[in-house]
Amino acid sequence: MLLSVAIIARDEERHIGAALASIANVADEIVVLLDPRTSDRTAELCTQAGARVIAAPFESFPAQRNRALAECKGQWVLFLDADERVTPSLQHEIRQLLPSQPSHAGYWIPRFNRYWGRALRGGGWYPDRQLRLLQRAKAQYDPSRLVHELVILAGSEGQLSQHLEHINIESWAELREKQQRYAQAEAATLYRNGVRVKPQNYVLQPLRAIWRRYVTWGGYRDGFLGMLLALVMGWYEFKMYLALAKHWG
């Protein structure tokens, strides 16, 4: 078996159908690790699409990805989030690449991020490369990185040119929930690494994030939305340091 596609999911009825459809012509196997707390039709939709659904209580993102690597049977594994899509051009690139026995152990894939339906070009949201196509026997995720997972590869890394599409945010409620979840996880990682909060962190880190997103990384090219998201990411930094301070008591 050449390619397994692995998806980690919980309550993804809204997105999972389109994600599965986007890989139907490229995957030899689809493995979905589904949190048993799921209360919608995610499992049913996955089964209908021919996926192998495995009940996997959520521990952390790296733990789930390592579990998926262990469950998959393909020589290669493509990790896909439920709110992502493999574009037709990326399907073609993968189908051309894998039978040629590539020498790299993993491949970075550029990704479009859509906020309220709009694909962003600045602010660090593009090309947003993700290390997602992995030789299963040569890949492992660092269990200490709870957010923005780190892949440990026994081999070199290559680059693909075609894109994933990420349906990132579609509502303010979704944005607030995601920021809260990620801020808590990132604060926990910093706490385990012994990082302490300094008073200036509450001001300087948010300001740096805003400047970086809007000016250094060109968020201004996305107009008002680029400015808004730069401010949102500054607020994220503030919330993350508040969460870190709570860990230290």
pLDDT tens digits, residue range 4-22?
999 999 999 999 999 999 9
Same domain, 18 and 103: yes
Of the residues 137, 168, 199, which one is the last residue of a structural domain? Answer: 168
pLDDT tens digits, residue range 21-58?
999 999 999 999 999 999 999 999 999 999 999 999 99
Same domain, 52 and 102: yes
The closest alpha carbon to 248, from 162, 174, 188, belongs to 188
Of the residues 168, 192, 216, which one is the last residue of a structural domain? Answer: 168
| Cα 91 versus chain centre, distance | 18
> How many residues are there in the chain?
249
Which CATH number fits the domain that encloses residue 80? 3.90.550.10
Same domain, 130 and 235: no
Phi, psi for 7 (deg, rounded to 5): -130, 135
Residue 212 DSSP symbol: I
Q: How confident is the model at residue 46, as a pLDDT?
A: 98
Phi, psi for 235 (deg, rounded to 5): -60, -35
Same domain, 152 and 182: no
Q: How confident is the model at residue 109, as a pLDDT?
A: 99
Of the residues 168, 195, 227, which one is the last residue of a structural domain? Answer: 168
Q: How confident is the model at residue 47, as a pLDDT?
A: 98
SS3 state of residue 68: helix
Same domain, 179 and 203: yes
Phi, psi for 135 (deg, rounded to 5): -70, 120
Average pLDDT, the chain: 97
SS3 content of the chain, % helix, strand, coil (to 5): 45, 20, 35
Domain that holds residue 206: 171-248
Same domain, 100 and 203: no
Omega within 30 of 0 (cis) for the link into 110: no
Q: How confident is the model at residue 160, as a pLDDT?
A: 98
- Report the C-alpha gap between 106 and 149 in whole angstroms: 15
- Report the C-alpha gap between 139 and 28 in whole angstroms: 19
Cβ atoms of 90 and 25 closer than 8 Å: no
- Report the C-alpha gap between 37 and 27 in whole angstroms: 27
Q: How confident is the model at residue 146, as a pLDDT?
A: 81
Q: Residue 239: what residue type?
A: K
SS3 state of residue 80: coil
pLDDT tens digits, residue range 190-249?
999 999 999 999 999 999 999 999 999 999 999 999 999 999 999 999 999 999 999 998
pLDDT tens digits, residue range 124-179?
999 999 999 999 999 999 998 888 899 999 999 999 999 999 999 999 999 999 99
Same domain, 150 and 188: no
Q: How confident is the model at residue 225, as a pLDDT?
A: 98
Same domain, 163 and 182: no
**Can you give the pTM of this predicted structure?**
0.91
Give the CA radius of gyration of the chain: 19
Q: How many domains does the chain have?
A: 2
Cβ atoms of 94 and 76 closer than 8 Å: no
Q: How confident is the model at residue 145, as a pLDDT?
A: 86
Same domain, 68 and 158: yes
Same domain, 29 and 88: yes
Residue 50 DSSP symbol: T
Same domain, 47 and 163: yes
Same domain, 73 and 41: yes
